[in-house]
Structures are given as structure tokens and as C-alpha cells.
Structure 1
Amino acid sequence: MNREQKAAAIEEIVGQIQESEAIFAVDYRGITVAQIAELRTKLAESDASLRVVKNTLTERAATQTETEALKALLSGPTALAFVRGDVAAAAKALADAQKATTFLAFKGGVLNGEALDADQITALSKLPTREVLYQQLVGLVASPISGLARSLNGLIGGLAIALDGVREKKESGEIPSGDAPAPAAAPAAEEAAPAAEEAPADVAPAVDAPAADAADTTDTTPQED
């Protein structure tokens, strides 16, 4: 590999590091080409890729991206899984391949710039995948709606049964059928007061006493002759 090829390889690894949410390092010794191909197909389902790297070039790429935690993993035969999608699903694919082949031991990894050891990657592989979590979330959201629908159906069903019972009682004569009685008139807020009080028949209406006759101004005193 000449200088230009090395530079191109480093640049490609830099891009993969920058695009990845997580990077898992495994020891690929003992695994066959067919098993690697099968693993790559499985990793692709979670938007991850597996790459057998040259440690010296990857170390330079880690330096350029300031991914210091990755450098400690670059000893011996190393393959890196670059995970852009579902981290748990990618870890599970690697763990399943370990069980099937007894190879691909975890060296460690990086998640959002933080170092992971082998046990932490194994723990990640046991978490629910993003798809499972999404299905659980949908179930939680849909559950109250289903309960409401059941309640409404129960209310509607109960109302229908009650109305049917009324109809049967009308048909049997238990409840008289016909026009509904007119609603009772609402009482007036206040009874109207009589316009005027009638005087008793045997009592004459009060009349003001006539003014006293004007005094006779004629002088009746006898006049002196």
C-alpha cells in the first residue's frame, strides 16, 4: 500500500468513525470468510458494517477524530463494527455470532465517545432492540385508547338494551303509549297583585267632608237710631 492508498484508507476510516454512534472491536481470528459474510449481512439490518482494519492506519484515524478510547483496542487482529443505527441490535448480532462460532471475542468499544469494555457490550446485546421498544411504546399509547373504545361500546350497548326494554314494555301495555303529556306550566314567579282593592258593598266610599259654609257676613246687630 503506497502513501496515497494509506491516506485514502485513513480518510475512509475517519468518515466511518464520525458517522458511527457506536464502534465495537472484536478479535476475528478463527472465523471463516463465509461466517464473516453472514455476519455482515446480519449487521446491515441494523445499519452497521464490519471492517477488518490495519491497526496503524486506524490509530491515525482515531487521532484525527480525537477518539482516544479506540486506540487502546488496536492490538492484534482486529475487526471493527461501525454502528450507525440500532446499537443494541448490532451488539446482539455480534453476540449471536460469538455463540455460533465460538470466535469474535469482544475487545471493547466506544459509544458516543465513551469507552466500553467487553462486559458492557455483552450487556448491550441483551437490551431490547429499537424495533421491540417501538412496539412496546405503541402498545402503551394504544392501550388507553382501546380502553376508552371498550367503555364507549359498553355505554352504547347498555343504552340500546335500556331502549329495547322500554319498547317491549310499551308493546305489552305495561307502559301506556301515546303522546307524551304536555309539560306542566311553570308557576309565575310572583302572583300579580290585584289592581285595586274593592270596597265592601255595604260601605259607601269615603267622601271628603264638605267645606264649612262660609260665615254670614251680614251684621245682625241692631243699629242705633
Structure 2
Amino acid sequence: MSEVAIAKKAAIVDDVTKKFEAATSAVIVDYRGLTVEEVTELRKQLREADVEMKVIKNSILSRAAKQAGLDGLDEVFTGPTAIAFSNEDVVAPAKIIAEFAKNAEELEIKGGIIEGKVASIEEITALAKLPNREGLLSMLLSVLQAPVRNVAYAVKAVAEKEDEVA
């Protein structure tokens, strides 16, 4: 192989390594058996959630993962592999891909990365069941508002009781 080709591949590995390091989560899938229309629809759904899906050679993914310090992914990088990177929402790629896989049985989740750690299929599936970022924030807000709401109800009840006595 020529030095130019080696340099190009090294640059690609460096680029993928940066994607691994910047990603809050990544989901690795086997897309074999999907039609072009299905892949296009999946990419569209992912793009709407600011998730980037790439088809990358397994040898490049393997080298990039090692450079990024992600061990244990070599067995995942076999066969046709696509990877969905998310730099913002941890839940989005897992949720979208798991939902899409319900209708497209050919789509198979092989593993992933969550917050810089290698994740199993079970962990990715569990992540997909969580609400998205906005849902989690609204749940947190509801929990934070509960004590204030309870105090308000108690004050209102006391005020109404005093009105009845008067």
C-alpha cells in the first residue's frame, strides 16, 4: 500500500477517534437486510435528532476505538456495521434505533458506547426505554415542585378552615 493511502486511512481513523471521544453515546448496528428506503428513513429520523449515522469499515472502527481507549468492541465490529453518534442527547440514538427496529426486524443492535464506556446490547435496550432529555427534565421539575405545591395546599387548607370557623 502506498504512503498516500496509508496517510488517508490514518486521517480517517483520527477523525473517527475524535467522533468516539466527542460522542455522549453511540449505537452500533448491523443494517444487513434493510432496503434503501428503510436506511434513508432511519437516517432521516436520526438526523432530525442531531444524531449522525455512518457506515465505516470495521478495521477503521476497531483502530479508532483502540485509540479512543474503548476496549471490548472488536467482537462487535464484524459484518456490515453502521454507527450512530450523538454528541448531545445520550438517549436519542438508542431510542430511535430501537423504535425503528420494531418495524424493521433486519436491523440488529450490536452494542454501543454510553458516556465513554462500552455498553452491551442490554444496556442500549435499557437506555432506549428511558424518556428523552426533555422528558427527564420535566420529571425532575415535577419532583422539585412537589414540596412547594404541598406547602401551598396546606396553607390553603388552613386558610379555608379559618374561614369556616369565622
Shift of 1:97: 1.1
Return the alpha-carbon distance in structure 1 between the equivalents of residues 106 and 69 of structure 2. Answer: 30
Shift of 1:29: 1.0
Partner residue in 1 for 2:62: 59
* Candidates 111, 115, 128, aligned match of 2:114: 111
Structure 2, unpaired ranges of 5+: none
Return the alpha-carbon distance in structure 2 between the equivalents of residues 98 and 144 of structure 1. Answer: 41
Return the alpha-carbon distance in structure 2 between the equivalents of residues 58 and 52 of structure 1. Answer: 10
**What are the Cα deviations for residues 183-208 of structure 1, in whole angstroms up to 9, with x where unaligned?**
xxxxxxxxxxxxxxxxxxxxxxxxxx
Moved more, 71-80 or 119-128: 119-128
- Map 1:11-22; keep pairs closer than 5 Å: 11-22=14-25
Higher strand residue share: 2
Partner residue in 2 for 1:176: none
8 Å Cα contact 1:48-1:90 kept in structure 2: yes
Partner residue in 1 for 2:31: 28
Verify: 1:151 aligned to 2:151, yes or no. Answer: no
Residues 1:113 and 1:138: Cα distance change in structure 2 (over 3 Å): closer
Return the alpha-carbon distance in structure 2 between the equivalents of residues 46 and 145 of structure 1. Answer: 34
Shift of 1:31: 1.7
SS at match of 1:73: coil
SS at match of 1:123: helix
8 Å Cα contact 1:10-1:61 kept in structure 2: yes
Verify: 1:80 aligned to 2:78, yes or no. Answer: no
For 1:110, the aligned partner's letter is I
SS at match of 2:33: coil
8 Å Cα contact 2:94-2:124 kept in structure 1: yes
Partner residue in 1 for 2:144: 141
Tell which has more relative contact order, 1 or 2 (C-alpha 8 A, sep 6+). Answer: 2
Give the TM-score of the pair, scaled to structure 1. Answer: 0.62
* Candidates 123, 145, 157, aligned match of 2:126: 123
**What are the Cα deviations for residues 130-154 of structure 1, in whole angstroms up to 9, with x where unaligned?**
3222211111111221222223233
Return the alpha-carbon distance in structure 1 between the equivalents of residues 95 and 117 of structure 2. Answer: 19
**What are the Cα deviations for residues 34-91 of structure 1, in whole angstroms up to 9, with x where unaligned?**
3223223333455422111111222222232222223331111000111323333321
* Candidates 1, 4, 8, aligned match of 1:5: 8
Residues 1:45 and 1:142: Cα distance change in structure 2 (over 3 Å): farther
Measured on the aligned residues, the alpha-carbon RMSD in Å equals 2.4
Structure 1, unpaired ranges of 5+: 164-225
Give the TM-score of the pair, scaled to structure 2. Answer: 0.81
Q: Based on CA coordinates, which of the two structures has the bigger radius of gyration?
A: 1
